Structure 1
């Protein structure tokens, strides 16, 4: 099977590309290597997927280009059987500062992909959406019927892209699935997230800094669970036309997360607090009953297991991953 992964040098896309190539499928990755964070991390994502492809006797092609290039997208989609659309301008705070840029990548880029796809006989387009579409909770946990009132341009862009995917299924019969991710973490994740900031500071003997009062809550979903449900959609058509939450086994407040990380590394450290970040949602918590009913999705890694696994990985890869080690 020929698989296209947009944003395939990024965190989630890189893991999907690695897993799919490891199953013997031929993978093409489209990524524009936006310098949103250290590109060395993307290079490690690429190398991991290349290695998996070589070991499985599959091909791996890397295309340095943008989802906003309509002609390029047309050519790549025409050769694919399944598309994992992970490309996006990430970051809530970035979207507050550069909303037009976020719209160009996340909405216009998605439209390029969907337009290309509807003129082919693709088996499926799997689109990465986000819990950011919900905004302020009317109730928790969020189910897919919850009102969608995003509080950042990023959330608006992801809502628009998933709704376009749904409409392309209804109007044109394009097999699409949108997965609403809830705070994905794990090896090779973006370094500017709460989890990585806590771990990095604690490993350097510095107290973790909590932005706000720490009562904000999150589902933290381990990357292995995200990859597994995406792999399933290579051949499973039961979710076509659907939007599904993909979250974790539990929910945790940021203050407790900082304590869990701190206690794992250096219990003597105090916690510090900073000003809240603009555009961040106060709470996210996924109701995953729909994904369970439709896809049999069951998350397997709880937050304390995941934190321990991530810290072990971080320690083993500090030389190239840790921003303070790289800059020294």
Structure 2
């Protein structure tokens, strides 16, 4: 489990420990609290291939959700892509057949575009073109290409989960309040969406069950952060975007249909209602 001390890594680790799994929790920093039973904490830099290989020995599966910021775009791109390569290379060398990597809807390119553009169509699904213009988004496209290479070369099963903004419900509710105060243009590039961290953690668990090669899947909430109808928002801020099917009310402009088909994943959390009570 890489990025184990981060927001998502902490939740994923706790989820697996609760299920009775033994977790090797890898991060560049020591845990902020005591290490739980069933968890082995390893401090390692993922750009160090030897350290990554040592950490993965004896593991049956890998979940790679670590990401690094950097003092420059070059550093951010280099560290993110080399970390993913090292993790998957170590997994392949150790005969680990299943891996999950954290990707992002940023791979589609709109979020941090230097020359802003609109999606070709909505709801945005995994067949939409990937046209990144910045280092972070480009690193996610490269990470997915790296995963495909290991699937093709080693017969591994790897799922790249394209998360939106990862947040706990209180953070999401605060963001919705800011959006209401500041107006919808503040999140028009993101299409007003989010991913609740517990939903993201469950998707990581489900993705380890994939046995048919590579998949890249959107993992987003079913609703938007705005109280305005999503179709109205798209018409106002993305008038050239083709609406391929109706989007009812404040439903998300991102499609998670493929995640439901491949993983049987349906988001369980909404900032409006909390837990949706979905039994999946």
Alpha-carbon shift at residue 212 of structure 1 (Å): 8.3
Post-superposition CA distance 1:57-98 (Å, at most 9, x none): xx21111221111101011122211110011115xxx6xx61
Alpha-carbon shift at residue 240 of structure 1 (Å): 3.4
Alpha-carbon shift at residue 233 of structure 1 (Å): 3.1
1:247: which partner in 2? 220
Q: Is the 8 A contact 2:91 2:97 kept in 1?
A: no
Q: 1:289 aligns with which of 229, 247, 257?
A: 257
Q: Is the 8 A contact 1:238 1:294 kept in 2?
A: no
1:86: which partner in 2? 65
Q: 2:18 aligns with which of 22, 29, 33?
A: 22
Cα separation, partners in 2 of 1:196 and 1:154, compared to 1, 3 Å = farther
Corresponding position: 1:109 with 2:103 = no
Q: Is the 8 A contact 1:168 1:174 kept in 2?
A: yes
Alpha-carbon shift at residue 102 of structure 1 (Å): 0.9
Post-superposition CA distance 1:112-137 (Å, at most 9, x none): 11211212221311000000000131
Map of 1:37-186 to 2, 5 A cutoff?
Answer: 43=32, 47=34, 50-51=35-36, 54=37, 59-90=38-69, 98-136=72-110, 137-186=119-168
1:214: which partner in 2? 186
Distance 1:254 1:29 in 2: 39
Distance 2:271 2:8 in 1: 18
1:305: which partner in 2? 273
Distance 1:299 1:129 in 2: 17
Distance 2:56 2:226 in 1: 41
Q: Tell me the TM-score normalised to structure 2 length.
A: 0.76
Secondary structure of 1:87's counterpart equals: coil
Alpha-carbon shift at residue 171 of structure 1 (Å): 2.3
Secondary structure of 2:96's counterpart equals: coil
Q: Is the 8 A contact 2:155 2:213 kept in 1?
A: no
- Number of aligned residue pairs: give it: 243
2:239: which partner in 1? none
Q: Tell me the TM-score normalised to structure 1 length.
A: 0.66
Q: Is the 8 A contact 1:291 1:297 kept in 2?
A: yes
Q: Is the 8 A contact 1:239 1:295 kept in 2?
A: no
Alpha-carbon shift at residue 197 of structure 1 (Å): 6.7
2:232: which partner in 1? none
Map of 1:5-16 to 2, 5 A cutoff?
Answer: 5-16=1-12
Post-superposition CA distance 1:134-186 (Å, at most 9, x none): 01311122111100012321100111011110121022212211111112211
Gaps of 5+ in 1: 34-38, 257-283, 308-328
Secondary structure of 1:80's counterpart equals: coil
Distance 2:181 2:43 in 1: 36
Secondary structure of 2:93's counterpart equals: coil
Identify the range of structure 1 (236-245 vs 153-162) with the bigger mean alpha-carbon deviation.
Answer: 236-245
